[in-house]
């Protein structure tokens, strides 16, 4: 574990195993549902979801810093972030990781294409993309956990901007510290939406 050093992660998409329960959940259904619509869609899901891995280029970037928390405010790397909920969640922590992860632009383009050509397939692709970025974040957090353990730390579950009282404006701090645009081709629009869309930023607290 090396504080303030930015690390880039890239993996082959074939390492991401499809979680069909999650795909159906993002579609608003359960894998166990037995309706005429689900029975019609189910074969399409099992065909489309694995194929999408050909369009995915999972990449991530992360950095760690010492952390102090005072008066519901996080202090790290000369920055302050006021958040009652995050301060409470990380109250045991003395270090913090920031990470950004993306699946790359090809999947976004394919989803947009399918939404125009075949709305049903568009919904499946959108749900599959949400599942795959979560799978990659899980993969990346396992690596972060191993890195933290090398410094004698255990890690908390990730916590993203836009959740609870952490404003989306916090995205700007991630992009400043991680240099996402140059490192992994991830950009932040004026609306605070990331491009490619299937991307995530998050904090990971560390404690001993």
Task: Give tens-digit pLDDT for 5-56.
Answer: 999 999 999 999 999 999 999 998 876 766 777 778 889 999 999 999 999 9
Query: Is the pTM higher than 0.85?
Result: yes
Answer yes or no: are the C-beta atoms of 122 and 108 closer than 8 Å.
Answer: no
From the CA atom positions of the chain, what is the Rg in Å?
Answer: 18
CATH class for domain 7-207?
Answer: alpha beta
**Model confidence pLDDT, tens digit, residues 180-195:** 999 999 999 999 999 9
Q: Which helix (H) or strand (E) holds 154?
A: strand 154-155
């Amino acid at each position: 574990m090396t504080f303030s050093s930015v690390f880039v992660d890239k993996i082959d998409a074939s390492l991401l195993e499809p979680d069909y329960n999650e795909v159906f959940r993002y579609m608003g259904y359960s894998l166990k549902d037995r309706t005429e619509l689900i029975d019609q869609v189910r074969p399409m899901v099992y065909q489309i979801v694995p194929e999408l891995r050909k369009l995915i280029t999972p990449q991530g970037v992360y950095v760690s810093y010492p952390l102090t928390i005072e008066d519901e405010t996080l202090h790290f790397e000369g920055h302050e972030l006021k958040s009652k909920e995050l301060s409470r969640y990380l109250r045991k922590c003395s270090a913090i990781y920031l990470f950004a992860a993306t699946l790359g632009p090809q999947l976004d383009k394919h989803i947009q294409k399918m939404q125009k050509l075949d709305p049903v397939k568009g919904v499946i692709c959108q749900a599959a993309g949400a599942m795959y970025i979560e799978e990659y974040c899980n993969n990346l957090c396992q690596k972060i956990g191993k890195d933290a353990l090398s410094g004698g730390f255990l890690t908390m579950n990730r916590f993203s901007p836009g959740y609870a009282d952490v404003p989306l404006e916090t995205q700007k701090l991630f992009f400043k510290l991680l240099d996402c645009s140059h490192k992994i081709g991830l950009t932040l629009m004026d609306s605070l939406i990331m491009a490619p869309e299937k991307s995530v930023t998050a904090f990971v607290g560390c404690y001993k």
